């Protein structure tokens, strides 16, 4: 399973983010906190978001060329529109993120824009490597990995034998399980 390799890397990134909670309380009051460690995490997480979105786009439309997030947005919103309204809820910090909701307006997420600014003009936009953007990016990666696993599963022979109905079903199948984010609802059309 291709998605399992990406899921394993997601878990490593998640563990790195969780370790920050020993030093920074994950509350909105601290969302603008920035540091070198947060810079490293934002760049790493967003790089993996790029890789997994490219793979998801290729799975959805194998013959369509993709170069960047705008190409992914076009494919994913057309073929997998549920991603836009999908939340990721933290298990222990009482936070909920909708990292792809800006796609409903045709815009790229602010955390992605922050990543791009930090990547290309760090000296000018260092403060955008903040806790909020890291948590939003990690939630986006969590959701993309879930959709990647679901689409991959639906294209497999197993789907005919045991049809999974939701991202919550997929979440239970991925191993190891996320200790940070969880899905708490079923998407419309997945009942």
Average pLDDT over residues 64-72: 95
Peptide bond into 72 cis (omega under 30): no
Place of tokens 């799975």: 59
Q: What is the reported pLDDT for 106?
A: 93
pLDDT tens digit sequence for 107-164: 999 999 999 999 999 999 999 999 999 999 999 999 999 888 888 877 766 555 455 5
- Dig out the tokens for 137 from the structure: 């990016």
Q: Distance between CA 149 and CA 145 in Å, rounded?
A: 6
- Give the number of C-alpha atoms closer than 13 A to the C-alpha of residue 135, restricted to the C-beta side: 29
Place of tokens 């789907």: 159
Q: Are 155 and 59 in contact (CB under 8 A)?
A: yes
Q: What is the reported pLDDT for 41?
A: 98
Three-state SS at 56: helix
pLDDT tier at 189, thresholds 50, 70, 90:
very low
Q: What is the reported pLDDT for 157?
A: 62
Q: Which residue has the higher pLDDT, 179 or 87?
A: 87
- Dig out the tokens for 2 from the structure: 């291709």
Q: What is the reported pLDDT for 191?
A: 36
**Burial call 49-63: b when 16+ CB within 10 Å, e when fewer:** bbebbbbbbebbbee
Q: Are 178 and 14 in contact (CB under 8 A)?
A: yes
- Dig out the tokens for 23 from the structure: 């030093």
The helix or strand, by DSSP H or E, that contains position 97, with its residue range, turns out to be: strand 96-97
Q: What is the reported pLDDT for 158?
A: 58
Residue 97 phi/psi, 5-degree rounding, is -125, 140
Q: What is the reported pLDDT for 78?
A: 93
Q: What is the mean pLDDT of the chain?
A: 87
Q: What is the reported pLDDT for 55?
A: 95
Tell me whether residue 45 is exposed, middle or buried, using C-beta atoms within 10 angstroms of its C-beta: 0 to 12, 13 to 18, 19 or more.
buried
Average pLDDT over residues 67-73: 96
Q: Distance between CA 131 and CA 125 in Å, rounded?
A: 14
């Amino acid at each position: 399973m291709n998605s399992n390799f990406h899921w394993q890397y997601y878990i490593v990134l998640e563990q790195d983010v969780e370790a920050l909670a020993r030093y920074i309380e994950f509350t909105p009051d601290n969302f603008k906190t920035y540091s070198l460690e947060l810079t490293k995490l934002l760049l790493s997480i967003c790089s993996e978001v790029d890789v997994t979105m490219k793979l998801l786009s290729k799975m959805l439309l194998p013959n369509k060329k993709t170069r960047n997030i705008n190409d992914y947005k076009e494919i994913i919103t057309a073929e997998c529109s549920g991603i836009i309204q999908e939340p990721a809820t933290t298990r222990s910090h009482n936070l909920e993120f909708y990292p792809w909701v800006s796609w409903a307006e045709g815009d790229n997420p602010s955390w992605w824009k922050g990543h791009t600014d930090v990547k290309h003009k760090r000296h000018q936009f260092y403060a955008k490597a903040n806790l909020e953007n890291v948590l939003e990016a990690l939630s986006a990666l969590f959701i993309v990995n879930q959709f990647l696993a679901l689409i991959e599963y639906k294209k497999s022979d197993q789907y005919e034998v045991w049809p999974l109905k939701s991202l919550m079903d997929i979440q239970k199948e991925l191993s190891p399980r996320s200790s940070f984010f969880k899905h708490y609802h079923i998407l419309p059309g997945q009942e």
